[in-house]
Amino acid sequence: MPSRKPGDEALLEEAEYRRGLLGVVFQRKSPRNRIRVECAVAVAVALTGAGCTLTSDNETSPVVAAAPAAFGRERLIGRWGTASFHTEKDRQRTEREARAQCSQPYRIVEGPTDGVMMHVADDPQLYELRLKGDTAGRTYLGFEAPPGHPQDREILSATNNLMTMRFVDPDANQRYGTFVYVRCGT
């Protein structure tokens, strides 16, 4: 039996650890086990790579045609009381609650280009969002993306003093509900 050096024990432990990561313990007396494992790993890697090419490049997601927004960003700019509701029967009460929030208004200001500065779902940072419309007459507020993108908000109604909007993303919409914005000072 060959003599061991002081560092050999650490090397053996490292080799055992690495084998454990693969979930495989090699037996020194049986090279067949090693070949079987190497083949299994090669097949798994090949199948994983093949799975990436199973989707067709010809498939396209539905793209909503863009159209001009129903109104300009000036309608959004200002100080707003905000509140939200989940069921339509709560809408009038929510409008009153939004009006009461004017003591601490939410400010929508002009963005550096042609958008407005607002928060997005689950992020405390302000972003520039743009108005965009689709051919069905709906108006959205969001990033540079096709109208109706999951990060957009759909503006359900908008007058000079009252707006309602909801997130397009079903998860965000379920958590936040439909927003009511009441212009402060009216």
Structure confidence by residue, pLDDT tens digits, 118-176: 999 888 999 999 999 999 999 999 999 999 999 999 999 999 999 999 999 999 999 99
Residue 61 lies in a domain: no
Structural domain containing residue 25: 8-52
47 shares its domain with 136: no
- State pLDDT tens for residues 14-68: 545 444 444 444 444 455 554 554 544 444 444 444 444 444 444 444 555 677 7
- What are the beta bridge partners of residue 178? 85, 166
- Looking at the fold, whether 158 and 116 belong to one and the same domain comes out as yes
Decide if 89 is inside a domain. Answer: yes
What is the reported pTM? 0.64
Residue 152 makes CB contacts below 8 A (sequence gap 6+) with 132, 140, 141, 142, 143, 145, 167, 168
* 157 within 8 A of 163, measured Cβ to Cβ: yes
Report which DSSP code applies to 14. H
Number of domains the chain contains: 2
Nearest to 86 by CA among 180, 181, 182, 176: 176
